[in-house]
Structure 1
Amino acid sequence: MSLSSCCVTGFRWDGTPKGHETTLADKKAYVTGTNKDAAVLIVHDIFGWTLNNTRLLADHYAEEADVTVYLPDFFAGEIVTPDHLFGSGDHASTGPLDVGAFIGRHGKDIRQPEIFACAAALKKDLGYKKVGAIGFCYGGWAVFRLGAKGNNLVDCISTAHPSLLEKAEIDAVGCPTQLLAPEEDPTYTPELKEYSLKVLPTLNIDYDYQYFAGLTHGFATRGDTENPTQKKGLERAKNAAVSWFREYLH
Structure 2
Amino acid sequence: MADQTGKHTKCCYTGFKHEGEAQGELTTFAGYDAYVTYPENRSTERAVVFLSDVMGHKFVNSQLLADEWAKRGYFVVMPDLFQGDVIQFNDIQTIDFPKWYSGGYNEKNIPHTPEVVDPIVRDVIRELKEKYGVKKIGGTGHCFGAKYVCRFLADPENGFQVGYFVHPGSLDYEEVEGVKGPISIGSAEKDPSFPVEKVHRVQEILLKKGLPFQINFYQGVGHGFSTKGDPNDKVARWAKENTFEQAVSFFNAFL
What is the TM-score normalised by the length of structure 1? 0.90
CA distance in 2, matches of 1:177, 1:242: 12
8 Å contact kept, 1:220–1:233: yes
Q: Is 1:55 matched up with 2:30? A: no
Q: Which residue in 2 is equivalent to 1:42?
A: 50
Which range is displaced more, 16-25 or 164-173?
16-25
Q: Which residue in 1 is equivalent to 2:31?
A: 26
What is the TM-score normalised by the length of structure 2? 0.89
Q: Is 1:69 matched up with 2:67? A: no
Structure 1: gaps (5+ residues)? 88-95
Structure showing the higher helix proportion among its residues: 1
CA distance in 2, matches of 1:245, 1:132: 7
CA distance in 2, matches of 1:235, 1:48: 21
Paired letter, 2:143 = C
Structure 1 position 117, deviation (Å): 1.8
8 Å contact kept, 1:36–1:128: yes
Structure 1 position 52, deviation (Å): 0.3
CA distance in 2, matches of 1:150, 1:133: 11
RMSD: 1.5
Q: Is 1:119 matched up with 2:125? A: yes
Identity over the aligned pairs, expressed in percent?
29
Structure 1 position 248, deviation (Å): 2.5
CA distance in 1, matches of 2:176, 2:250: 19
Paired letter, 1:12 = K
8 Å contact kept, 1:165–1:188: no
Q: Which of 80, 83, 91 does residue 87 from structure 2 map onto? A: 80
Which range is displaced more, 158-167 or 19-28?
19-28
Aligned length: 238
CA distance in 1, matches of 2:213, 2:151: 16
Q: Which of 164, 189, 193 does residue 199 from structure 2 map onto? A: 193
Q: Which residue in 1 is equivalent to 2:22?
A: 17
Structure 1 position 189, deviation (Å): 2.6
Q: Which residue in 1 is equivalent to 2:3?
A: none
Residue 152 of structure 1 aligns to a residue whose secondary structure is: coil
Q: Deviations over 1:14-73 (max 9, x none)?
A: 000001122222111111112220000011101111110000000011102x10111110
Q: Which residue in 2 is equivalent to 1:245?
A: 251
Structure 1 position 191, deviation (Å): 3.0
